[in-house]
Amino acid sequence: MSDITTSFTRNSHGPAESLEASASLHDECEDKSSSTSSQEVCRDLKAMQPRWAAVPLRARLRVLRRFNRLMLLNAPSLIRLIADHASLDVMTAEILPLMAASRFLCREASSMLKETRLGWLGRPLWLQGVMASVVRKPLGAVLILAPGNYPLMLASIQTLQALVAGNSVALKPAPGRTAVLRRFVALLEQAGLPKGVVQLVGEDSGQQAVSSGYDLIILTGSAETGRKVALAAAETLTPTIMELSGADPVFVLPDADLALVARALHFGQTLKGGHTCIAPRRIFINEVQKRPLQRELYRVFGGEGDNPAPDPSSKLAQLICSAKAAGGEVVVCGKTQVIFLNAHQARLADIDLFAPWFAVITTHSVEEAICLEGAATHALGASIFGNEREALAIAKRIPAGTITINDIIVPSADPRLPFGGAHRSGFGVTRGREGLLALTRPVSISTRKRGAFHLLPRLRQWHGR
């Protein structure tokens, strides 16, 4: 830890100390920050950030390696802090992807963030004698607005990438999610992160925080929230990265295995109770496949049973009412509302709604399905089932930012891959190489070695006439 302590006063909480001691001291910091204004927290983080950026990258990565070991040891306590989600979902969809992302950064960050020296090839003749390079510098203080559906994994990966890049971080938990992110910060500090480089802000402080003048805001949330954050950030010219709502399509090609499709839809509906931004919502099939797929859905999901109808005032009930009024058919498979629509009714399903539902949309051709997708307002994820070659061709034509072929959701957790959407689903990326680089800015440095003819005394005299 000597590389870190040269830039910071020695932290009394070394990695060998207990998590309880680190968490207790962090609670004291949390209590103090709760009475601190958002502007003061932002100023503190901006003051702290240059000292953290001065810590060599190899030392920052050592913190991540220790953190990864602590994550594994503390997995049971982290699972208990997200008690409203199934333990298996928390382990497989939160903890394991977070650890994989941490290992990815430890392996790859050094090569991704290193200085790029440009050789003579491609250099203009009139720049002979100039040597150029591009360095990556951190952005500064980053505000991360965490979601409630993935309270640990998403915000924590964004935090780790920000730290590796040399930024300081303010973390705003979603309502009811402070405890798990407090434990995450405590683990980082136990792993050697200097106290204060990452600070939690209050769950209800989002409006003040986004107006405080951070150097970057990262939001994972709804399109409605994204619009509000963008308006507030514009007042201080703060750049943003936004992962917003999804209404993901699934393209079922004529040769697709319908049993596999049904199992994939079941996985997408049951993971996190369907509260997943890239859950399948709009299933494009041809008319011939409609009834066979319905039979497979009944087999995998189960029949209607005794499940109660949705609350009449809920958005799901309103969607069902609109679909029936437009001539659509609604059936219940297990606990999931399945809405059968035709191509003319497809726009009804282009909505952001966390609930147990999806729409099966019949089209005359794959080409018509692609056209419908091109007109949709959301573009986050997509899945394609069927012939791999045809699926790859379709993947190049649709606007989604994360596309899986003959699978659903799980491959998007690959830490090497960027994640982001378009249209109402947001802009910018997090995760992967691109996500790490998005937390830096490229700076060009040019060094004149010889041949500065434009600076010769006589040329300056002639040019000044």
Domain containing residue 281: CATH number: 3.40.309.10
The pLDDT of residue 8: 64
- Mean pLDDT, to the nearest integer, of 347-366? 94
Q: What pLDDT shows up at residue 451?
A: 83
Judge whether 455 lies within some domain. Answer: no
Would you state the pLDDT for residue 13? Answer: 43
Lowest mean pLDDT among 20-34, 92-106, 299-313: 20-34
Q: What is the pLDDT of residues 372-406, one digit of tens each?
A: 999 999 999 999 999 999 999 999 999 999 999 99
Does 452 have pLDDT greater than 90?
A: no
Q: Residue 208 falls within a domain, yes or no?
A: yes
Statement to judge: residues 372 and 442 lie in one domain: no
> What's the confidence (pLDDT) of residue 309?
76
| Residue in the structure block whose two tokens are 């051709």 | 365
For residues 197 and 267, membership in a common domain is answered with: no
Computed over every residue of the chain, the mean pLDDT equals 90
Confidence band for 313, pLDDT divided at 50, 70 and 90: confident
Same domain, 225 and 260: no
Indicate if the alpha-carbon torsion angle 302, 299, 272, 319 is positive or negative: negative
- The mean pLDDT of 410-419, rounded to a whole number, is 95
How, if at all, do strands 422-423 and 216-220 pair?
A: unpaired
Residue 94 lies inside a defined structural domain of this protein: yes
Q: Are residues 158 and 60 in the same domain?
A: yes
The confidence band for 63, taking pLDDT boundaries of 50, 70 and 90, is very high
Tokens of 378: 């959301």
Do 199 and 254 lie in a common domain? no
pLDDT for res 36:
65
- Same domain? For 361 and 218 the reply is no
Is 42 found in the same domain as 185? Answer: yes
Is residue 297 included in any domain, yes or no?
yes
**Domain identity same for 169 and 134:** yes
Residues 107 and 74 reside in one and the same domain: yes
Determine, yes or no, domain membership for 280.
yes
151 with 276, same domain? no
What does each C-alpha distance from 211 to 42, 131, 201, 244, 300 come to in angstroms? Answer: 10, 41, 14, 20, 48
Could you tell me the CATH number of the domain that includes residue 239? 3.40.605.10
Instruction: Quick: pLDDT tens for 125-154.
Output: 888 899 999 999 999 999 999 999 999 999
List residues bridging with 55 in a β-sheet. Answer: none
Q: Is residue 108 part of a domain?
A: yes
Confidence of residue 459 (pLDDT cuts 50, 70, 90): confident
Domain of 164 in residue numbering reads as 38-245+425-446
Total number of domains constituting the chain? 2
User: What pLDDT is stored for residue 44 in this prediction?
Assistant: 95
Same domain, 255 and 197: no
Residues 294 and 236 in one domain: no
Q: Establish if 24 belongs to a structural domain.
A: no
